[in-house]
Amino acid sequence: RALGRPVRWMSERTEAMLTDNGGRDLLSWAEFAFDENHKITAYRVDTRCNLGAYNSQFGQPIQSQLFSKVLMGVYDVQDTYLHVEG
Distance CA 39, CA 16 (A): 36
Sheet holding 40-49, edge to edge: 26-34, 40-49, 79-85
CA atoms within 13 A on the CB side of 41: 6
Q: Does 10 reside within a domain? A: no
Distance CA 49, CA 39 (A): 29
Please report the pLDDT score of residue 22 as a whole number: 57
Helices (H) and strands (E) in the chain, counts: 3, 3
Q: Does 8 reside within a domain? A: no
**pTM (2 d.p.):** 0.64
| Domains in the chain, number | 1
Q: Domain residues for 40?
A: 24-85
Q: Does 73 reside within a domain? A: yes
Which H helix or E strand runs over 69?
A: helix 67-70
Residue-wise pLDDT for 22-78, tens only, equals 556 788 999 999 999 999 999 999 999 887 777 777 777 877 888 888 888 888 888
